[in-house]
Amino acid sequence: MSRRISFAAAIREGIEQEMDRVKDIVYFGIDVRQSPWGFTRDLVKKFGRERIVNTPIAESAIVGTGIGSAMMGLKVVSELMFEDFATLAMDHIYNNMGSWYYMTNGQYKVPLTVITTTGGGTRTGYGHSQALYPLFMSAPGIHVCVPSTPYDAKGLIISALRSDTPVVYSADRILVVSDIQGDVPEEEYAVPISGPPSAVSSQTEFYIQVIPGDTKKGQLVKDVLNRLRELVPDERAALVSQIPQEDMMRVLPAGGGKLNL
């Protein structure tokens, strides 16, 4: 049965259901027992301090601890409060997170989800408002998810937690803090990370491909074709197949500028 819930509540529900199902999931991050974004709000009461772990303000350590714990057999979520601070953990994200499986010829998997919030528009100011997910797209061996609806938010976080491949899960901050709601089933379900983009609307003359955070803008100009669900694996083939040759496509990242797909 579906009901309408917020974007952040959908993420929290997906995390809770998967932590119920898999007892080896642990969650690391700054103030995650209090949960400033609501992803783990009150979950410490249910799962305990051993599974919902407050960390120091040290992004490199948060991701590095996640990598080591995942290699030793746990399923791990490492939360970075702002995507801007992922730059402090880039050595782990670029050189370790997606590489260990291949460097060890499959002996070590890294089932790690790095969840973070991205983009501006929430008055968080300098150093807290960038959209850096294009950087993660060039890191080897990881998936990059960018949900744009509560339905996708829950389904993709469940898929990320079930994946043996490392995932960067980038949640748009406007959607996280907004009261926008969407239909989300109460039961658990997974949106495939390698699945097709979700359709919004189409026009016969001109199309715009909108990345999460710009969905409202795209609807105002009535030129939206699809919402991207994930940036890695690459969805270009699915997108191009839906656009007539004489028409045009733009990609508008929520942080401004353009994303070259």
Average model confidence (pLDDT) across the chain: 82
Domains and CATH numbers, the chain: 2-185 (3.40.50.970), 198-252 (no CATH)
The model's pLDDT over 39-58, given as tens digits with 9 standing for 90+, comes to 999 999 999 999 999 999 99
Instruction: Indicate the pTM of the whole model.
Output: 0.79
pLDDT bracket for residue 195 (50, 70, 90): low
| DSSP secondary structure code for residue 186 in this structure | S
The answer, yes or no, to whether residue 150 has pLDDT greater than 60, is: yes
Please report the pLDDT score of residue 148 as a whole number: 87
CA separation, residue 50 to residues 54, 55, 113, 187 (Å): 10, 12, 18, 26
Contact 5, 150 (CB under 8 A): yes
State the catalytic residue, choosing from 33, 41, 109, 128. Answer: 128
pLDDT bracket for residue 94 (50, 70, 90): very high
Is 143 one of the catalytic residues?
A: no
Higher pLDDT, 58 or 127: 58
Q: Of the given ranges (64-68, 77-81, 177-181), which has the lowest mean pLDDT?
A: 177-181
Residues 148 and 128: their CA atoms lie apart, in Å, by 20
Mean pLDDT confidence for 113-126 = 84
Ranked by mean pLDDT, the top range of 72-76, 117-121, 139-143, 226-230 is: 72-76
